[in-house]
């Protein structure tokens, strides 16, 4: 079984990274953006876009070639996530589920036959993945809120319980489910399972979230006497919290990159609009208050870029980057929120038109502050680490993998 300390990736050259950025940016501009409103109208899951992105190599950056990846590394992963969020935020949800958290958790903690069965399909965008940690009683206090149990029965575990807010679970083929295998233990009472969504007892029900549009479906899950073979456990019994924390590192880097991409989208939209829209006979960009907003966005996007790519490069070098990923996630999330708010103000009434994506920008900026550990939680982690009370890497060995 693999563990967390497998060898670091071979990072791509600056030229290769620039070429990848060009490809994804072009796909965003020419393929994603022109169809977003039509896709939102139908409400259907954008399965074809996932497959096209898989075929372009968008999901394989941190996987070796023999698994269908490009082995370009975490910097490449971050820039793809950034560009997809720039193109249209809901589509970039794919980056955790198809390109990082789900396939990497399987690669790091699954058996070789599970890696062969799922990883190539996930990064090709053909197999859809989902990650189920949060429960109805809460996501921040993951351990305290976890009621889902897995009880050993012969060669199987029987899982009962429920999950909440699980992205893409209604369309997924495979879901990583975190359960309590020992309700009296804390961290060591959690185990992770790779669950086929066709398993009897698995049920996903869509949670309607009008403000997020229709392209990133989120679900409540119910498990009723769901029998899962013991060999579907990821890691050993009691290692689930470690599996979850390891997944969070990569997840946070991806969310930070998405926030950065969305902040850039806000900045570019604001600059374009401020140069076009006039009031009192002048371009609104000539008013000092609008200039301040554009200047702040520009400076903050530049700072967030440094933090995101610093964390990505640390992952590429095989260094534990739990702290840097949390800082990048927190800071890029704040920057993105301020940018989305300023953009909403700069667009005035048009920010609320369904013909522009600005109101979606605001909602996704807020969502990404919450997901993969809320802004408050990141602050707690960062402060406890700074105070020396709880070093952030205490649950990790080296986190770079591929
Ligand atoms: C659209 C969407 C998609 C999602 N997708 C997934 C997914 O695919 N898989 C998954 O597992 N989860 C998913 N989530 C869940 C997400 O990770 C959680 O919403 C998040 O972790 C916060 O948990 P909560 O909503 O239960 O808020 P709570 O934990 O109830 O927190 C509520 C508020 O209290 C604050 N708070 C809590 N504790 C403290 C504290 N000690 N100090 C200060 N403030 C505190 C929080 O910061 C937050 O502001 C998704 C959520 C949404 C909305």
Residues 95 and 181 placed together within one structural domain of the fold: no
Residue 400 in any domain: the answer is: no
Domain that residue 47 falls in = 14-128
pLDDT for the residue 395: 67
Alpha carbon 240 to chain centroid, angstroms = 19
CA of 222 to the centre of ligand 1 (A): 19
pLDDT at 9 over 60: no
Residue 95 in any domain: the answer is: yes
pLDDT one-digit tens code per residue, 54-93: 999 999 999 999 999 999 999 999 999 999 999 999 999 9
What is the share, in percent, of the chain residues with pLDDT greater than 90? 91
Residues 366 and 251 placed together within one structural domain of the fold: yes
Contact 218, 45 (CB under 8 A): no
pLDDT for the residue 10: 60
Q: Has 372 been annotated as catalytic?
A: yes
Residues 145 and 68 placed together within one structural domain of the fold: no
What is the share, in percent, of the chain residues with pLDDT greater than 70? 96
Residues 111 and 152 placed together within one structural domain of the fold: no
Residues 227 and 254 placed together within one structural domain of the fold: no
Residues 95 and 159 placed together within one structural domain of the fold: no
Q: Which atom of ligand 1 is nearest to the CA of 167?
A: 8
pLDDT at 216 over 70: yes
Residues 336 and 245 placed together within one structural domain of the fold: yes
Last residue of a domain, one of 100, 128, 156: 128
The alpha carbons of the chain give a radius of gyration, in whole angstroms, of 21
CB 183 less than 6 A from any atom of ligand 1: no
CB 13 less than 6 A from any atom of ligand 1: no
SS3 394: coil
Last residue of a domain, one of 190, 224, 240: 240
Nearest to 8 by CA among 303, 318, 348, 389: 318
CATH of the domain at 24: 1.10.540.10
Tell me the two tokens of residue 233.
Answer: 């456990």
Residue 5 in any domain: the answer is: no
Residue 30's contacts (CB-CB under 8 Å, 6 or more residues apart) are none
Contact 62, 9 (CB under 8 A): yes
pLDDT one-digit tens code per residue, 301-335: 999 999 999 999 999 999 889 999 999 999 999 99
Alpha carbon 274 to chain centroid, angstroms = 31
Last residue of a domain, one of 240, 255, 286: 240
Residue 399 in any domain: the answer is: no
Residues 377 and 347 placed together within one structural domain of the fold: yes
CATH of the domain at 138: 2.40.110.10
Nearest CA to ligand 1 atom 4: 165
- Residue 329 CB-density burial (10 A; 0-12 exposed, 13-18 middle, 19+ buried): buried
CA of 163 to the centre of ligand 1 (A): 12
Contact 100, 167 (CB under 8 A): no
pLDDT one-digit tens code per residue, 354-391: 889 999 999 999 999 998 889 999 999 999 999 999 99
In this prediction, residues 155-179 reach a mean pLDDT of 98
pLDDT bucket at 147, cuts 50 / 70 / 90:
very high
Average per-residue pLDDT in the chain? Answer: 94
Q: Where are the alpha helices (DSSP H) in 202-287?
A: 240-276
CB 138 less than 6 A from any atom of ligand 1: yes
CA of 137 to the centre of ligand 1 (A): 10
Count of structural domains within the chain: 3
Give dist(CA 97, CA 106) in Å, integer: 11
């Amino acid at each position: 079984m693999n563990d967390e300390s497998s060898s670091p990736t071979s990072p791509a050259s600056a030229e290769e990274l620039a070429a990848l950025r060009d490809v994804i940016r072009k796909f965003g501009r020419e393929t994603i953006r022109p169809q977003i409103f039509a896709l939102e109208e139908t409400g259907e899951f954008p399965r074809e876009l996932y497959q096209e992105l898989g075929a372009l190599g968008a999901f394989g950056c941190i996987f070796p070639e023999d698994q269908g990846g490009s082995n370009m590394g975490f910097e490449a992963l971050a820039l793809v996530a950034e560009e997809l969020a720039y193109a249209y935020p809901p589509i970039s949800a794919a980056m955790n589920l198809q390109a990082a958290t789900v396939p990497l958790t399987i690669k790091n903690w699954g058996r070789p036959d599970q890696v062969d069965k799922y990883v190539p399909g996930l990064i090709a965008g053909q197999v859809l993945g989902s990650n189920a940690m949060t429960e109805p009683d809460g996501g921040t206090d993951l351990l305290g809120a976890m009621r889902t149990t897995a009880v050993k029965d012969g060669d199987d575990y029987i899982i009962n319980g429920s999950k909440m807010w699980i992205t893409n679970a209604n369309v997924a083929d495979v879901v990583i489910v975190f359960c309590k295998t020992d309700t009296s233990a804390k961290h060591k009472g959690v185990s992770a399972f790779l669950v086929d969504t066709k398993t009897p007892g698995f049920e996903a029900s869509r949670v309607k979230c009008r403000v997020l549009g229709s392209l990133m479906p989120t679900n409540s899950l119910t498990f009723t006497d769901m029998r899962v073979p013991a060999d579907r456990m990821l890691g050993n019994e009691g290692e689930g919290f470690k599996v979850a924390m390891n997944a969070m590192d990569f997840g946070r880097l991806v969310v930070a990159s998405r926030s950065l991409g969305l902040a850039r989208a806000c900045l570019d939209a604001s600059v374009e609009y401020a140069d076009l829209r006039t009031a009192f006979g002048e371009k609104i960009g000539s008013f000092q208050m609008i200039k301040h907003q554009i200047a702040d966005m520009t400076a903050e996007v530049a700072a967030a870029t440094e933090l995101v790519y610093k964390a990505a490069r640390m992952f590429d070098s095989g260094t534990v980057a739990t702290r840097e990923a949390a800082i990048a996630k927190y800071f890029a999330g704040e920057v993105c929120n301020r940018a989305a708010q300023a953009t909403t103000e700069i667009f005035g009434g048009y920010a609320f038109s369904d013909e522009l994506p600005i109101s979606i920008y605001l909602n996704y900026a807020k969502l990404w502050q919450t997901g993969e550990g809320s802004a408050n939680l990141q602050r707690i982690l960062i402060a406890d680490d700074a105070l020396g009370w709880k070093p952030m890497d205490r649950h990790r060995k080296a986190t770079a993998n591929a």
